[in-house]
Amino acid sequence: MNSFPVVEVSGSAFAMGEQHGRQAAALIGRYLDWIDRLTGKPRAMLRENAMRFGPVIEAFSPRYMEEVRGLAAGAGIPLADAMLCQTRAEAAQQWDGGCTALAVTRSGTVDGQSIAGQNQDLESEYAAVGIVLKLRPNDGRPRAVQFTFAGQLGYAGINEYGVCNFVNALYNFRWQPGLPSYPVRRALLEQRSVDDCVELLRRIRSCTAYNLVLADGAGGIADVEVRPAGVAVFADEHPDRRVHTNHYVTGEFAGFADGTLPDSEPRLERIRELTRERWGRISVETMKEMLADHAGEPGGICRHGAERMHTVAGYIAEPGERRLHVRRGYGCTGSWCVYPV
């Protein structure tokens, strides 16, 4: 109970999906049951809505869709259920999540290398379906390790080039035709640099809104706010730092901030304060301390139920070392495990 189950897959896209489905079949069923309860919508409606995203995902990444088909085969579930795992929020048109994310590089870290991390703030039930997914494709795509939910093929992780991504939910948008977020996040883990990731985000059309904090093994970091209408790159007050919570901060999108999560602004100020205090000394251990912070309440980084958000997991990526640290549970009490790419 002190760590998440590990699912290791390799081979072709279909084979990786099949192995994932077979190893995590029980957890995938539990995740689907949780989606039903979370959304309060009939499975038949959710399946129909999820399948509508098939053509746009297929056009974006045929290999992703092959992996989804393999997932359905391995888990013994309908393709529509496997698609629902990739489009949970979009199929229900219900967006959720809190989260505090940051990336620091060069002058901010103890060794001059980039480091990035996040607290994952969600309803507590999500913790029961979390997994660590190790990916070893044989088709030229890079190796990667992710934290995700059973059956969901794209989420927070790092690849063999040190490219990593962490996300913050953003609100006050209208759902539009476009790509769901999870296939995009998986595609980010197929890139070689932060610049490649930003270029990919500029090319897509999203159906929802979210923020991405990015880093890579060469010391690059970036922050990109994504909306259906386009993207905006955030330049923080220091060039070697990016911090973000759950409201818009770019000049292009700041007018859309509507206070959906009242603690978002205090959390942003608190994480800025914590990075300033530790500037030049930030390491994995200091990141763990920051993600466990309660001193800034109501802007504490570790959340215990405000707005129904609990810190169910945490992640720290060391891009230079190609390692992902994953914590199960609250920042103040949870335990960490390290997973090399």
Q: What percent of the chain has pLDDT over 90?
A: 95
- Contact assessment for residue 114 and residue 104, using Cβ atoms and an 8 Å cutoff: yes
Total domains, the chain: 1
pLDDT digits (tens, 9 = 90+) for 147-181: 999 999 999 999 999 999 999 999 999 999 999 99
The predicted model gives 69-79 an average pLDDT of: 98
Q: Report yes or no on 173 lying in a domain.
A: yes
CA 154 – CA 137 distance, rounded (Å): 14
Tokens of 234: 């955030």
Strand order in the sheet with 115-122: 241-244, 100-104, 115-122, 310-318, 323-328, 335-340
- Residue 300: per-residue pLDDT: 86
Q: Report yes or no on 323 lying in a domain.
A: yes
- Residue 96: per-residue pLDDT: 87
The predicted model gives 76-93 an average pLDDT of: 97
Among the residue ranges 16-25, 114-123, 141-150, 292-301, the one predicted with the least confidence is 292-301
Q: Report yes or no on 121 lying in a domain.
A: yes
Q: Does residue 49 register a pLDDT over 80?
A: yes
- Residue 2: per-residue pLDDT: 79
> Is the full-model pTM beyond 0.95?
yes
- Residue 169: per-residue pLDDT: 97
- Residue 296: per-residue pLDDT: 74
With b meaning 16 or more CB within 10 Å and e meaning fewer, what string describes 18-31? bbbbbbbbebbbbb
In terms of Cα–Cα distance, which of 322, 329, 338 is closest to 144?
322
Q: Does residue 1 register a pLDDT over 80?
A: no
Number of other residues whose CB lies within 10 A of the CB of residue 42: 10
Q: Does residue 328 register a pLDDT over 80?
A: yes
Can you give the residue range of the structural domain that contains 274? 6-90+98-340
Q: Are strands 335-340 and 100-104 parallel, antiparallel or unpaired?
A: unpaired
Run of H or E residues at 275? helix 264-277
Q: Does residue 234 register a pLDDT over 70?
A: yes
276-281: long-range contacts at Cβ-Cβ below 8 A with a sequence spacing of 24 or more? 279/107, 279/108, 280/107, 280/108, 280/109, 280/110, 281/110
Q: Report yes or no on 83 lying in a domain.
A: yes
State the CATH number of the domain containing residue 20: 3.60.60.10
Q: Report yes or no on 292 lying in a domain.
A: yes
Q: Report yes or no on 1 lying in a domain.
A: no
Q: Report yes or no on 150 lying in a domain.
A: yes
Q: Does residue 117 register a pLDDT over 80?
A: yes
- Residue 129: per-residue pLDDT: 98
Q: What is the mean pLDDT of the chain?
A: 96
